[in-house]
Amino acid sequence: MAKSEQERSVSVELPDGSQLHFEEPVTVEDVAYEIGPGLGEDCRAGRIDGELVPPEYEITDDAEIEIVTPGSDDYRNLIRHSTAHVFAQALQRIYPEAKLAIGPWTDEGFYYDIANVDIDEDDFEEIEAEMDAIVEADYEIGRVHRDREQALEIYEDNPYKQDILETEAAGEDPVSFYVQDDWQDLCKGPHVQSTGEIGAFKLLQISSAYWRGEEENEMLTRVYGTAFESDEDLEEFLEQRRKAKERDHRKIGQELDLFSIDETTGPGLPLYHPNGKTVLNELSEYVGNLNREADYREVETPHVFRTELWKKSGHYDNYRDDMFLLDVNDEEYGLKPMNCPGHATIFDQQQWSYRDLPVRYFEDGKVYRKEQRGELSGLSRVWAFTIDDGHLFVRPDQIEDEVEAIMDIILDTLETFDLDYNVQFATRPEKSVGSDEIWERAENQLESVLEAQDVAYEIEDGDGAFYGPKIDFAFEDALGRSWDGPTVQLDFNMPERFDLSYVGEDNEEHRPVMIHRALYGSYERFFMVLTEHYNGKFPPWLAPEQVRILPISDDQIPYAKQIQNRYLDDYRVTIEDRSWTVKRKIRQAHEDRVPYMLILGSNEEDAGTISVRDRKEQELNDVDPETFAAHLETEVGQRRTDVTFIQQHGE
């Protein structure tokens, strides 16, 4: 709540917990100079209660503050935001007719949406040369204010900036612009002090994007770029990007015939080929066993429900724009965006005693989200995906034990796949259901579990589900990239909305607490993460093809079938019987990332042995087939993440 004119004093809390007190409102820059003249000179921006603001931002109420200086975590965001402006200025120098929309920074760089100009990646060299000139000129970047009428005149031919003035900047007069040389852009900032502060940059790619992300709006050209403090940082990023491109799951998916997404069937609707379905089946069996061992019971719910269910659960109000809605016989139905209302309905079908709880359900449930087409990307963001969903209905006194048990299973899962992770505690979002009291109770319960288990975590303010707070586990893959994964979510709201109950020890009805959890997150994203993490070299237990037998000639095909049927009947084994040279057969097996190759010639057939080659290009001759089969049984049974036969049995 804003202070009255009589209460103009302001207190700010610094990152170390200390406080500064001012008799009247102050700017971020004032606070920096109060701490020390050096910090004042280095101040480029401030983070006020989590929001990044320019040095001129006036603090009128008590707040937490962090000063942004060169070298601090937020400084790179300023560089990238300023580089987006440098790109836009360079573009309009070359193409004066270009119309600018928005140009924010991102986790990997920046983008700018533009219209009224036809460019492609072949034009990047010319644009980058002009950007170099702007950076070299070291123009001062200044924040100025213009009255609304003047701003509308400046953008009388730009409907996108007019839209911003009427929406994000509605009611503001004057509005802020950032100016460098003779060029300006409507912007709240913050930015670096001059174009010369930009150390290194690179334009990366072009795509299309709808204005405001709405498909009914005009399609714009989106130019992506990145920027860093130094050439070394940029080169490291570009090398990481090159490696990521080599590991792109869409590329590997095509090479290994795992899946496809065909526009004729619809965007964001993956088709799993036999190889991909094999991996999914193994993942499902693994997590299904974990669920059954933890006393979860498997259920199944349909893909579509009447929207009355979604209104009851709260999804209709909170997810309607992302739902696929259908009109059937004058009734509205919706493809399910989540599985939880179905599970809550199953729980509600019978009477429960306090002795019956916890009740644990699990389902590999297909759900549907109507993402914008421009946001769809391989398996990472799709319209149809499957969640390895679990929902628990527990007594309040069981919450801590159940959440701890779930976290133990999640950690075992991550260890099985050799995935590093970090943990976030996500609190109430702006768009949510339920009372303040319920949310405070739920957040306190989850945080107490994290503290009790001594788990390192970060707080993600406002990133919880609309029905409750959550603990999220983010995967970290082989390239150090982070991906959303397992989750534990505490929900006091849905049991209330569904009027769920159990009979307590006092013979009175009580409200259960609902826990949502997933061990993978979604199969699609987890499949994507594993494909890129392993670079298509899936662990032997997951690999679509575990062993490929390579007869040197057609004469050894009967012996190959004998080895397959006698020793390897329980595994995914193929025989390469094409009339190729053995060198070509080996090369193809390596390209297909097959864990093991068994090379059979006349010498092996006469001796009753095999030659084993693995995808690391290691080879061991004169191997007893029984020895290899026994090792494979152990390697697959223990779900080891790599091939180890030659390492363990070689000289």
Same domain, yes or no: 393 and 425: yes
Strand partners, 476: 420, 482
Is the CB of residue 54 less than 8 Å from the CB of residue 190? yes
| Tens digits of residue pLDDT in 134-159 | 999 999 999 999 999 999 999 999 99
Tally the domains of the chain: 4
Same-domain status, 489 and 360: yes
- Report how far apart, in Å, the C-alpha atoms of 388 and of each of 463, 486, 632 are: 21, 9, 28
Mean pLDDT of 103-126: 95
- Is 257 part of a structural domain of the chain? no
- Residue 560 and residue 620 share a domain: yes
Q: Does 590 show up as a binding residue in the annotation?
A: no
| Cβ atoms < 10 Å from Cβ of 404 | 14
Give the tens place of pLDDT for each residue, 500-510. Answer: 999 999 999 99
What confidence category does residue 374 fall into, taking pLDDT thresholds of 50, 70 and 90? low
- The whole-angstrom separation of Cα 244 and Cα 593 is 18
Are 430 and 288 contained in the same domain?
Answer: yes
Q: Identify the CA nearest to 14 among candidates 55, 43, 61, 48.
A: 48
Helix (H) or strand (E) holding 581: none
Length of the chain: 651
**Which residues have a Cβ under 8 Å from the Cβ of 493 and sit 6 or more positions away?**
314, 433, 434, 438, 467, 468
CA atoms in the 13 A half-sphere facing the CB of 287: 28
Here the tokens at position 511 are 């409200």
Segment 87-91 long-range contacts (CB within 8 Å, at least 24 positions apart) = 87/112, 87/127, 87/131, 87/203, 87/223, 87/225, 88/112, 88/114, 88/183, 88/185, 89/134, 89/180, 89/181, 89/183, 90/127, 90/128, 90/130, 90/131, 90/133, 90/134, 91/117, 91/119, 91/127, 91/223
Residue 49 forms part of a structural domain: yes
Strand order in the sheet with 200-210: 99-100, 110-115, 219-228, 200-210
Of 38-52, 241-255, 270-284, 404-418, give the range with the top mean pLDDT: 270-284
Q: Identify the CATH number of the domain in which residue 54 sits.
A: 3.10.20.30
In a domain, 294, yes or no: yes
Determine the pLDDT at residue 478: 73
Determine whether 434 is exposed, middle or buried from the number of CB atoms within 10 Å of its CB (0-12, 13-18, 19+). buried
Predicted confidence (pLDDT) at residue 196 exceeds the cutoff of 50: yes
- The pLDDT of residue 3 is above 60: no
Amino acid, res. 643 = V
Res. 6: pLDDT tops 90? no
pLDDT of 1 strictly over 50 = no
Residue 306 has pLDDT above 50, yes or no: yes
Q: CA–CA distance from 458 to each of 445, 471, 517 (Å)?
A: 16, 10, 19
Q: How far apart are CA 301 and CA 337, in angstroms?
A: 12
Strands 482-491 and 513-518: antiparallel
* Cα–Cα nearest to 417, from 541, 244, 255, 252: 541
136 & 230 share domain = yes
Helices (DSSP H) in 367-492: which residue ranges? 399-416, 436-452
Residue 472, CB-side half-sphere exposure with 13 Å CA sphere:
21
Q: Is the peptide bond before 358 cis (omega within 30 degrees of 0)?
A: yes
Domain endpoint, select from 478, 506, 533: 533
pLDDT bin (cut points 50, 70, 90) of residue 477 is: confident
Task: Give the residue among 382, 467, 388 at the shortest CA–CA distance from 433.
Answer: 467
Per-residue pLDDT at 455 exceeds 90:
no
Calculate mean pLDDT across residues 427-443: 83
477 in Cβ contact with 419 (< 8 Å):
yes
187 is in an annotated binding site: no
Q: 557 and 459 in one domain?
A: no
Q: Is residue 310 part of a domain?
A: no
How far is it, in rounded angstroms, from Cα 20 to Cα 36?
12
Buried b (16+ CB within 10 A) or exposed e, 515-545: bbbbbbbbbbbbbbbbbbbbbbbbbbbbbbb
As a whole number, the mean pLDDT across the chain is 92
Q: Is 460 strand, coil or helix? A: strand
Range of the domain at 22: 10-68
Domain assignment present for 428: yes
Q: Per-residue confidence at 651, pLDDT binned at 50, 70, 90?
A: low
Residues 385 and 492 in one domain: yes
pLDDT tens per residue, range 53-86: 999 999 999 999 999 999 888 999 999 999 999 9
Q: How far apart (Å, rounded) are the C-alpha atoms in residues 179 and 638?
A: 62
Answer with the residue of higher pLDDT: 591 or 440: 591
Q: Is pLDDT of 5 > 70?
A: no
43 is in an annotated binding site: no
Phi-psi region of 610 (alpha: psi -120 to 50; beta: other; left: phi over 0): beta
Domain finish residue from 53, 68, 83: 68
pLDDT beyond 60 at 2: no
The amino acid at 564: Q
> What's the rounded Cα separation, in Å, for the pair 162 and 155?
6
Whichever domain contains 456, its CATH number is 3.30.930.10
- Residues 359 and 391: their CA atoms lie apart, in Å, by 8
Q: Are residues 522 and 557 in the same domain?
A: no
Instruction: Give yes or no: residues 174 and 45 share one domain.
Output: no
pLDDT band for 316, please (50, 70, 90 cuts).
Answer: confident
Kindly report the CATH number assigned to the domain that includes residue 143: 3.30.980.10
> Does the pLDDT value for residue 9 go beyond 70?
yes
In a domain, 346, yes or no: no
Residues 6+ apart with CB under 8 A from 76: 227, 228, 229
* Both tokens assigned to 310: 């979604």
In a domain, 517, yes or no: yes
**Rounded distance between C-alpha atoms, residue 619 and residue 613, angstroms:** 4
Tell me the C-alpha distance between 176 and 165, whole Å: 11
Burial 14-41 (b: 16+ CB within 10 A, else e): eeeeeeeeeeeebbbbbbbeebeeeebe
Residue 435 lies in a domain: yes
For residue range 380-409, list pLDDT tens digits in order: 889 999 999 999 999 988 988 999 999 999
Q: What is the pLDDT at residue 7?
A: 57
Of 55, 77, 40, 202, which Cα lies nearest the Cα of 135? 202
Record the tokens describing residue 543, joined without a space. 């690999």
Q: Which two tokens stand for residue 485?
A: 């994964």
Q: Are residues 558 and 434 in the same domain?
A: no
Cis bond before residue 396 (omega within 30° of 0): no
Within this chain, do residues 579 and 459 fall inside the same structural domain, yes or no?
no
Alpha-carbon distances, residue 566 vs 144, 633, 634 (angstroms): 80, 14, 17
| Contacts (Cβ under 8 Å, ≥6 apart) of 26 | 10, 12, 34, 58, 59
Structure tokens at 508: 């009175």
Question: Is the same domain home to 464 and 572?
Answer: no
Q: Which amino acid is at 114?
A: I
Going by pLDDT thresholds of 50, 70 and 90, the confidence category of residue 133 is very high
User: Is the pLDDT assigned to residue 25 strictly greater than 50?
Assistant: yes
